[in-house]
Structure 1
Amino acid sequence: MVVVHHLNNSRSQRVLWLLEELGVAYEIQRYQRDTRTMLAPPELKNVHPLGKSPVITDDGRVIAESGAIVEYLVERYGDGRLAPRAGTDERLRYTYWLHYAEGSALPPLLLKLVFDRIESGPMPFFVRPVARAIARQVKHSFITPQLQLHLDYLEAELGRSEWFVGNEFTAADIQMSFPLEAAALRGGLDRSRSRLYTFLQKIHSRPAYQRALERGGRYDFGPVQRS
């Protein structure tokens, strides 16, 4: 049976959602973040040397990295569902979004999280003005423009079709959910980008998404009405 090594309030929520969409039985091994550092606990290193989530085990295999997990589960359990047929233009687009989600969309969001903490976090008083000024400048000159660039791009892409690959929901939409949820929480995504906002509303209303939330526990990136 698939075991999801699930870190609370993390990207592994997507894996639970995918398994619910596929109707695959699974177990959850839960891990809690350190309340001070918000990092994963050291016990996860017993599963994978990097000690990060998501990671799954299945039939003696250990699979890490969100995109690799999605590809493995869809190939092994999908029976032709949630992915376009191999060799098609749609399959190429599907593969692109699987990798774009982590490779291009998430880095500016992670940078914003880091520099927000530098700007607002505790530090010795004599370095505070300099550190905060640098953080503000980096956000203004690089991070915010990058976030806007990606959000504009994604808004335009959803003008081409209902979902990211086409007019059929695929696992690429599951993979794309987390960067968009993170952008809605702290990256400037709001109702002004109506296609992206509608995308979030649609995925949050899916029964499989709701079942995954019930099993996964607290998930701050989930369905909340925002301005």
Structure 2
Amino acid sequence: MLTVHHLGKSQSERIVWLCEELGLDYDLKHHVRDARTMLSPPELRALHPIGSAPVITEGAMVLAESGACMEYIIARHGGGRLSLPPGHPGYPDFLYWLHEANGSLQPAMGRRMLIGRLQVPSENPVRQAAEERLDRALRFLDARVAAVPWLAGEEFTAADVMMGFPLTTMRYFAPLDLSPYPGILAYLQRIAAREGYQRAMAKGDPGMPLLLT
């Protein structure tokens, strides 16, 4: 049995969403953040040395990192769904956007969050560079989802599942005004309308207001 270890308000929501989109039979284990540090509890850290969510287990297999968990589930349980084959014309876009969320957008949001918490002055060139890099990533994404319904083109794929977290739940930790990006806001409404997303968020983080605007 595939088990998904989910930490509330974390990237592991991606894996719950993926499983719901695929209609998999899986076991969902909830973990609660430490009330003082807001970090992973000891029982989650005991599962994997990196000590963060998501973690999935299946038999003796233990795997962390949301991108790795996603590729494992798609390969082992996806049956060709939510990915594109190499011969598909949208395959390069699928690959790019599958990795862009954790490779570019999320780090840019994280840098901006840390610089803000350090109260670096707005005229500081490091802060200005961080703001510009994040805006560049968002404008690129905005243009993409204004041109096509989903990141790989006409088909919803795992790339969209990867992108959901930084645009929604991560904003609890790194507040971000998306009003300058109408394409992204419309994209979030398409995500919100998916039954798989609705089920995943209700199961993974029941009662949490969803940041979809």
Q: TM-score, normalised by structure 1?
A: 0.84
Structure having the higher Rg = 1
The 5 A counterparts of 1:121-200 are 132-133=120-121, 137=124, 140-181=127-168, 182=170, 186-190=175-179, 192-200=180-188
Give the ranges of 4+ consecutive aligned residues of structure 1 lying more than 4 Å apart after TM superposition.
218-221
> Is the Cα contact below 8 Å between 2:3 and 2:56 reproduced in 1?
yes
Partner of 1:212: 200
Superposition deviation, residue 222 in structure 1? 2.4
C-alpha distance in structure 2 between counterparts of 1:174 and 1:60, whole Å = 26
Superposition deviation, residue 220 in structure 1? 5.5
Partner of 2:92: 92
Superposition deviation, residue 64 in structure 1? 1.2
> Gaps (5+ residues) in structure 2?
none
* Residues 163/206 of structure 1: CA separation in 2 closer, same or farther (3 Å cut): same
1:106-130 residue CA offsets vs partner (Å, 9 max, x unmatched): 01111222233333xxxxxxxxxxx
Aligned-partner residue type, residue 103 of structure 1? G
> Gaps (5+ residues) in structure 1?
120-131
C-alpha distance in structure 2 between counterparts of 1:88 and 1:203, whole Å = 23
Q: State yes or no: 1:7 paired with 2:7.
A: yes
1:51-102 residue CA offsets vs partner (Å, 9 max, x unmatched): 1111101132112111111111111111121111233342222121111110
Partner of 1:63: 63
* Residues 53/152 of structure 1: CA separation in 2 closer, same or farther (3 Å cut): same
C-alpha distance in structure 2 between counterparts of 1:136 and 1:43, whole Å = 43
Identity of aligned residues (%): 38
Aligned-partner residue type, residue 81 of structure 1? R
Q: What SS does the corresponding residue of 1:159 show, helix, strand or coil?
A: helix
CA RMSD of aligned residues (A): 2.2
* Residues 59/91 of structure 1: CA separation in 2 closer, same or farther (3 Å cut): farther
Aligned-partner residue type, residue 7 of structure 1? L
C-alpha distance in structure 2 between counterparts of 1:10 and 1:59, whole Å = 24
Q: What SS does the corresponding residue of 1:188 show, helix, strand or coil?
A: coil
Aligned-partner residue type, residue 109 of structure 1? M
C-alpha distance in structure 2 between counterparts of 1:35 and 1:14, whole Å = 23
1:161-219 residue CA offsets vs partner (Å, 9 max, x unmatched): 211001111111111111222359612312x3221101111111211111111111258
Q: TM-score, normalised by structure 2?
A: 0.89
